[in-house]
């Protein structure tokens, strides 16, 4: 088993420590704000937050913002985590959806308080994205 020692941040930050990114792990604050692109590189939006299953610690959704200008008219969607693929060359997550497919996707609220506490809604999201529900993996 490989362990990663935390790296010490800038001492001006009151001596806090941060965990560095490794080949297998990334800190959640490094994912938030990351671009989401189509396979051809066109921008779709960005990751706003991650939704983590409390009992297993697995990331199960990313709340993604898209559209709008300066935060006005933005839409938010909860995307099953397994449907996103990180592309290091683009330094972005890749999601293969057309504009129409994205606009028709189940929506979330800007604060991430989507109805994902409702299993029926979660099943709808997973069917829409053709993803295996996280609770059956």
Top-confidence residue, 70 or 132: 132
Quick: pLDDT tens for 101-119.
Answer: 888 888 875 555 555 567 8
21 token code pair? 């990114």
How many structural domains does the chain have? 1
106 domain residue, yes or no? yes
Q: Tell me, what's the pLDDT at 102?
A: 85
The 10 Å Cβ neighbour count of residue 114 is 20
Which residues, in sequence order, are bridge partners of residue 49? Answer: 63
- pLDDT band, residue 45 (cuts 50/70/90): very high
Quick: pLDDT tens for 3-37.
Answer: 333 333 333 333 334 455 666 778 888 899 999 99
106 token code pair? 């189940």
**What is the signed CA dihedral for 105, 110, 113, 115, rounded to 10 degrees?**
-20
126 domain residue, yes or no? yes
Nearest partner of 52 among 3, 1, 112, judged by Cα: 112
Question: Which position has the token pair 């497919």?
Answer: 101
1 domain residue, yes or no? no
20 domain residue, yes or no? no
Domain span at residue 77?
29-136
Q: Tell me, what's the pLDDT at 137?
A: 72
Q: Tell me, what's the pLDDT at 118?
A: 78
Indicate whether 131 pLDDT > 70.
yes
Q: Tell me, what's the pLDDT at 80?
A: 94
- pLDDT band, residue 75 (cuts 50/70/90): confident
13 domain residue, yes or no? no
Report the CATH number that the domain containing residue 78 is assigned in CATH: 2.30.30.240
15 domain residue, yes or no? no
127 domain residue, yes or no? yes
Q: Tell me, what's the pLDDT at 71?
A: 53
Indicate whether 84 pLDDT > 90.
yes
Instruction: Summarize the confidence of residues 34-57 as an average pLDDT.
Output: 92
Instruction: Find all residues with CB under 8 Å of 135, minimum gap 6, and list them.
Output: none
83 domain residue, yes or no? yes
């Amino acid at each position: 088993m490989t362990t990663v020692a935390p790296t010490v941040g800038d001492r001006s930050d009151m001596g806090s420590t941060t965990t560095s990114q490794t080949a297998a792990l990334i800190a959640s604050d490094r994912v938030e704000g990351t671009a989401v692109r189509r396979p051809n590189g066109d921008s779709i939006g960005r990751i706003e937050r991650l939704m983590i299953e409390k009992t297993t610690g697995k990331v199960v959704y990313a709340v993604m913002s898209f559209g709008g200008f300066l935060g006005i008219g933005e839409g938010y969607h909860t995307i099953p985590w397994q449907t996103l693929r990180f592309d290091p060359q683009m330094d972005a997550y890749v999601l293969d959806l057309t504009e129409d497919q994205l606009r028709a996707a189940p929506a979330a609220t800007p604060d991430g308080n989507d109805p994902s506490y409702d299993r029926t809604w979660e099943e709808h999201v997973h069917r829409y994205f053709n993803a295996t529900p996280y609770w059956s993996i």
